[in-house]
Amino acid sequence: MTTTTSKAMIRFEDLRQEFTLTGNTFTALDGVSLDIADGEFVTVVGPSGCGKSTMLNAAAGLLDPTSGRVMVDDREVDGPSTRTGVIFQQYALFPWLTVRKNVEFGLELKKVPAKERRVIVDHYLELVGLTRFAEALPKELSGGMKQRCAIARAYAVNPEILLMDEPFGALDALTRVHMQEQLLKTWTQERRTVMFVTHDVDESVFLASRVIVMAARPGRIFKEIKIDLPYPRTEEMRLSDEFARLRTQVWEAVYHQPGVAEAHQ
Amino acid sequence: MAAKDTYIAVETPPLASGSPAPENSQQKPKPASRKSPATSGRKLGRKALLAINFGSVAAGLGAWTALSAAGVVGLPGPVEVLIRAGEVFADGTLAEDTGASLARVLSGFLLGSLLAVPVGFLMGWYQVGRAIIEPWVQFFRTIPPLALLPLVMVTMGIGETPKIFVIFLAAFLSCVISTYQGVVSVDKTLINAARVLGADSMIIFRRVVVPASSPFILVGMRIGLGAGWATVVAAELIAAPNGLGMRMQQAQQFYDMPTILVNVIVIGILGLLMDRLLLMIEAHLTRWQERR
Ligand SMILES: Nc1ncnc2c1ncn2[C@@H]1O[C@H](COP(=O)(O)OP(=O)(O)OP(=O)(O)O)[C@@H](O)[C@H]1O
Ligand SMILES: [Mg+2]
């Protein structure tokens, strides 16, 4: 692919993240270094608990690294920024706000005028297929619908960087494919920098120009796999030999890394 | 009656030492005293249950009539009590007493809740605030507000102030703990979600912490109102120019059983009504909550 060596938009520099729980120190990330170029689409896969969400939260400025740092656009991250949109693994919708009000939240904080807000919210509700549920409360939505609402909320503020933590995890296969295509479509148009965490090997290959495979205990980057499939990605590509080869490569990196086999038996 | 179970409820929420909620807790922990689901197997219709309610009340009244007819402990019957109620209603004493008791409860309750909410937030939001306030709250929580009445009367006299003060204290203590609980149990990911959308601390407080803890605050207010109501009647038994409690105390000296019963029943009904009212407000304000 055309990875014209542009500058790093997100740069993890020897990041180490420890958590202290009831006196025990736990190393969630150890020596993570990674550059994500401006406009690049990177997916992160790895076994559960290997620190994918931790890495994403660090990039979002929600953590205080034990050592090392994360740079965004050459500036050290020391707190959340509206340049960075985050879709959380647990949706994190405000349960007391309707779907519309949830999507509108960030726009209100940005002081976007009401009329404009309405247009933007309508657009993104349409995109995620929640127009009919605009006035529903989160408790009335299914898991997949909650996730779509969270996606619309993150998209609505139009961030330059998207950090997505298993955003399609709760969707059925059909909606999932649809959302993947929509995401890639907007990405090819706008070229935002995307860091996308997933459990799904197929998804990681289909979306990314580079797959980062992580290992657990301590969480670290195990392997990087370049995906040399051209964009726009098409449905036929999913069936191609090249795709199958890459999928196998990622699969083996995820499931045949040292320690995984024992841990899951 | 209402006040009894509320005291139990005060005990239930332990003052957790701000431990983080488990990571994937999408559902909020719900405040304790909510309608518990029907426990026994077969579900009865609404109408059937209501009919049973009425039957139960009618049976109780019947038993009461029978007891008084049999002359047990000189208990007056429902009719006699009803006649007495008509009299005190007509001569205005019932209205005066009810008004006086209600005024005390409501002023104590409103002052208590009004102060409890900011103090509870202070405790939940700032570690230093918690460290300063918590020992006091924990200490006074263990003292029944009524036990402070003698002390309060010595220092504040026998006017309205000491009565309102003990009610205030009762309402304040139950509400402050609830509010604090609400603040510390706000889902961290909701706060993070607001932060990445550009919210500063002020906005997080107003638009996340306050709504997220409102169910807890409302439960605390309900408990506080129950506690206040229980306290006022007892406070009036000790010294007051009027009020439902005082009227009973007075009637007791004349062996005036019908008057005592009128007041007991009015206290019960008012307590029940106030609790229902707050419950309705609560259900309305927190209808966004996922119920189990
Ligand atoms: N705030 C925290 N406090 C303590 N430990 C934490 C915290 N956040 C994460 N951890 C621990 O760090 C490790 C990595 O967690 P993380 O959520 O990043 O994993 P993950 O790769 O996203 O897993 P999954 O695929 O299941 O979402 C886990 O063992 C977790 O228990
Ligand atoms: Mg995760």
Which residues have CB under 8 Å from B127's CB, separation 6+?
B18
Examine the fold and report which residue of A121, A136, A158 is the final residue of a domain before the chain moves on. Answer: A158
Contacts of A93 in chain B (CB under 8 A): 193
Q: DSSP readout, B147-185?
A: GGHHHHHHHH-SSHHHHHHHHHHHHHHHHHHHHHHHHHT
Provide the residue type at B25 as one letter. Answer: S
User: Is residue B78 domain-resident?
Assistant: no
User: Is residue B247 domain-resident?
Assistant: no
Atom 3 (ligand 1) nearest CA? A19
Answer whether B26 sits within 8 Å of A106, measured CB to CB. Answer: no
User: Is residue B10 domain-resident?
Assistant: no
Is residue A63 domain-shared with residue A132, that is, in the same domain? no
Atom 31 (ligand 1) nearest CA? A49
The pLDDT confidence band at residue A6, using thresholds 50, 70 and 90, is low
User: Is residue A258 domain-resident?
Assistant: yes
The alpha carbon dihedral of B151, B153, B154, B155 has a sign of: positive
**Cβ of B199 under 8 Å from any chain A Cβ?**
yes
Q: What pLDDT is stored for residue A5 in this prediction?
A: 55
B85-92 long-range Cβ contacts below 8 angstroms, 24+ apart:
B85/B262, B85/B265, B88/B259, B88/B262
Is residue A106 domain-shared with residue A230, that is, in the same domain? no
Atom 17 (ligand 1) nearest CA? A53
**Cβ of B75 under 8 Å from any chain A Cβ?**
no
Q: What pLDDT is stored for residue A41 in this prediction?
A: 95
Question: Residue A193 gets which letter from DSSP?
Answer: E
Interval B40-66 mean pLDDT: 86
Tokens found for residue B263: 């007041």
Q: Would you say residue A124 has pLDDT above 90?
A: yes
Is residue A99 domain-shared with residue A221, that is, in the same domain? no
The three-state secondary structure class of B267 is helix
Q: Cα of B8 to ligand 2 centre, how many Å?
A: 40
Count of domains for chain B:
1
User: Is residue B68 domain-resident?
Assistant: no
Number of neighbouring beta carbons within 10 Å of residue A181: 16
Q: Would you say residue B15 has pLDDT above 60?
A: no
pTM above 0.90, yes or no: no
Tokens found for residue A178: 């649809």
Is residue A152 domain-shared with residue A179, that is, in the same domain? no
Is residue A238 domain-shared with residue A167, that is, in the same domain? yes
Count of domains for chain A:
2
Q: What pLDDT is stored for residue A242 in this prediction?
A: 93
The pLDDT confidence band at residue B10, using thresholds 50, 70 and 90, is very low
Report the CATH number at residue B156.
1.10.3720.10
Mind listing the pLDDT tens digit for each residue in B261-287? 999 999 999 989 998 998 899 888 888
Is residue A258 domain-shared with residue A194, that is, in the same domain? yes
Q: Cα of A88 to ligand 2 centre, how many Å?
A: 9
Is residue A77 domain-shared with residue A110, that is, in the same domain? no
Is residue A55 domain-shared with residue A78, that is, in the same domain? yes
Contacts of B190 in chain A (CB under 8 A): 92, 94
Strands of A24-37's sheet, edge to edge? A24-37, A8-21, A67-72, A75-76
Examine the fold and report which residue of A158, A180, A211 is the final residue of a domain before the chain moves on. Answer: A158
Is residue A183 domain-shared with residue A258, that is, in the same domain? yes
User: Is residue A230 domain-resident?
Assistant: yes
Q: What pLDDT is stored for residue B239 in this prediction?
A: 73
User: Is residue A1 domain-resident?
Assistant: no
Residue of A110, A143, A145, A103 lying closest to A124 (CA atoms): A103
**Mean model confidence pLDDT for chain B:** 82
User: Is residue A89 domain-resident?
Assistant: no
User: Is residue A130 domain-resident?
Assistant: yes
Q: What pLDDT is stored for residue B20 in this prediction?
A: 40
User: Is residue A2 domain-resident?
Assistant: no
Is residue A217 domain-shared with residue A245, that is, in the same domain? yes
Contacts of A84 in chain B (CB under 8 A): 196
Domain that holds residue A225: 8-83+162-263
Q: Among B7-16, B39-48, B71-80, which stretch is predicted with the lowest mean pLDDT?
A: B7-16
Domain that holds residue B168: 99-242+265-285
**Quick one: what percent of chain A has pLDDT higher than 70?**
95
User: Is residue B221 domain-resident?
Assistant: yes
User: Is residue B94 domain-resident?
Assistant: no
Mind listing the pLDDT tens digit for each residue in B97-115? 999 999 999 999 999 999 9
Mind listing the pLDDT tens digit for each residue in B189-220? 999 999 999 999 899 999 999 999 999 999 99
Mind listing the pLDDT tens digit for each residue in A58-71? 999 999 999 999 99
Mind listing the pLDDT tens digit for each residue in B123-134? 888 888 889 888
Mind listing the pLDDT tens digit for each residue in A37-52? 999 999 999 999 999 9
Q: What pLDDT is stored for residue B26 in this prediction?
A: 41
Is residue A166 domain-shared with residue A43, that is, in the same domain? yes
Q: Would you say residue B240 has pLDDT above 50?
A: yes
Interval A159-170 mean pLDDT: 91
Report the alpha-carbon distance of residue A160 to residue A125 in Å, rounded: 20
Q: Which of A92, A95, A153 sits opposite B192 (nearest CB)?
A: A92
User: Is residue A88 domain-resident?
Assistant: no
Question: Residue B30 gets which letter from DSSP?
Answer: P
User: Is residue B35 domain-resident?
Assistant: no
The three-state secondary structure class of B13 is coil
The three-state secondary structure class of B69 is helix
Q: What pLDDT is stored for residue B292 in this prediction?
A: 60
A51 lines ligand 1 (CB under 6 A): yes
Is residue A178 domain-shared with residue A246, that is, in the same domain? yes
A173 lines ligand 1 (CB under 6 A): no
Neighbours of ion ligand 2 (CB under 5 A): A 53, 89
Report the CATH number at residue A244.
3.40.50.300
Mind listing the pLDDT tens digit for each residue in A209-250? 999 999 988 899 999 999 999 988 988 999 999 999 999 999
**Per mean pLDDT, which of A42-51, B8-17, B134-143 is the most reliable?**
A42-51
User: Is residue B227 domain-resident?
Assistant: yes
Examine the fold and report which residue of A138, A158, A178 is the final residue of a domain before the chain moves on. Answer: A158
